[in-house]
Amino acid sequence: MFGLIGHLTSLEHAQSVASDLGYPEYADQDLDFWCSAPPQIVDHFKVVSATGQTIEGKYVESCFLPEMLANRRIKAATRKILNAMAHAQKSGINITALGGFSSIIFENFKLDQIKRVRNLDLDFKKFTTGNTHTAYVICKQVEEAAPKHGIDLADATVAVCGATGDIGSAVCRWLSERTKVRDLLLVARNQERLNNLQAELKFGRVLPMDQALPQADVVVWVASLPKGLDVDATMLKQPCLMVDGGYPKNIDTTFARPGIHVLKGGIVEHSLDIDWHIMNIVNMDVPGRQLFACFAESMLLEFEKLHTNFSWGRNQITIEKMDLIGEASVRHGFRPLLT
């Protein structure tokens, strides 16, 4: 059994979903109510691999809402994640992916220091951020989508925004070692981490975002767009491929103009239908087949019987692990989203 911990994108979204699913007790409730709401298993489904192997999964709705961060209900936000993890573990799930903001909150608020949740000791080996598969899928999206838009990677400059994060640094490692990209631009806020990353890669240049974007043929976003940043889209190269690996996906509205191709990053398509309801709720274009790569990682770990926290801790993603999860991804029928 694998698990997925997810959440809805806003209070308004949560209210409408509760109403659609037939939970009037949860619909029309304000943020205070959601701060008190317990995690719930809201879907139980099967996934069939391209090999024919079938596994079962459960979707745990954490009841976290992004408004909790915006309204400084930080304790509530961290409780949601820990409680959802405890719920998954108590439900006998072998490996659970922390989707959406879950892994970001876990990492940012150092929740690994809190092992005890009520009468349960969390076993972190049963959880994965899913970041290795997400990084792998984003890299494949860059490699496979760039030529489709007339961009030859051997002659291209790739900017990675959010380069020092867990996914960003993995993407930089892969692009440096496995592709022939001409130049790599490392963009992030923390200068020290940027310098360390450049030293590790022995490749690429550290640049501020406003200087990096006009030089880039490909932009990988693994951080959401900084608030207040006014990007002049006319300065961008044409064609330019943008892989939006951030959460929530908000790049396409900012850069909607001819010659700029925005791809939803870190999304995979399965070759067989999955009979679940959840991806309808998170507004995937093809809900029966498309899903976040981080979720797919927990499926892959279950298919491969790799019941371990495959992606865990910051900047631990190696090329070898990306290879391993990438091979499993192909074997079981997942493809990076390319349109």
Which residues of the shown chain bind another protein in the complex (CB under 8 A)?
A: 22-23, 25-26, 28-29, 32-33, 35-42, 69, 72-76, 78-79, 83, 87, 90, 104, 108-109, 118-119
Q: Please, where are the H alpha helices in 162-274? A: 166-178, 191-201, 209-212, 251-254
Closest CA to 154 of 128, 183, 177: 183
Instruction: Pick between residue 28 and residue 123 the one whose CB is nearest to another protein.
Output: 28
Residues paired with 62 in a beta bridge: none
Instruction: Pick between residue 36 and residue 250 the one whose CB is nearest to another protein.
Output: 36
CB of 210 to another protein, least distance (A): 22
Residues paired with 58 in a beta bridge: 3, 44
- Largest pairwise CA distance in the chain: 57
CB of 69 to another protein, least distance (A): 6
CB of 264 to another protein, least distance (A): 23
Provide the token pair at 48: 């069939």
- What is d(CA 265, CA 259) in angstroms, rounded to the nearest whole number? 18
Contact 197, 185 (CB under 8 A): no
Which residue do the tokens 């693994």 mark?
222
Listed in sequence order, the residues at least 6 apart from 174 whose beta carbon sits closer than 8 Å to its beta carbon are 135, 136, 139, 319, 322
Instruction: Pick between residue 58 and residue 133 the one whose CB is nearest to another protein.
Output: 58
Instruction: Pick between residue 119 and residue 253 the one whose CB is nearest to another protein.
Output: 119
CB of 161 to another protein, least distance (A): 16
How far apart, in Å, are the Cα atoms of 99 and each of 105, 127, 190, 212? 10, 11, 25, 29
Containing H/E element for 299?
helix 293-303
CB of 119 to another protein, least distance (A): 6
CB of 24 to another protein, least distance (A): 9
Instruction: Pick between residue 41 and residue 225 the one whose CB is nearest to another protein.
Output: 41
Instruction: Pick between residue 26 and residue 136 the one whose CB is nearest to another protein.
Output: 26
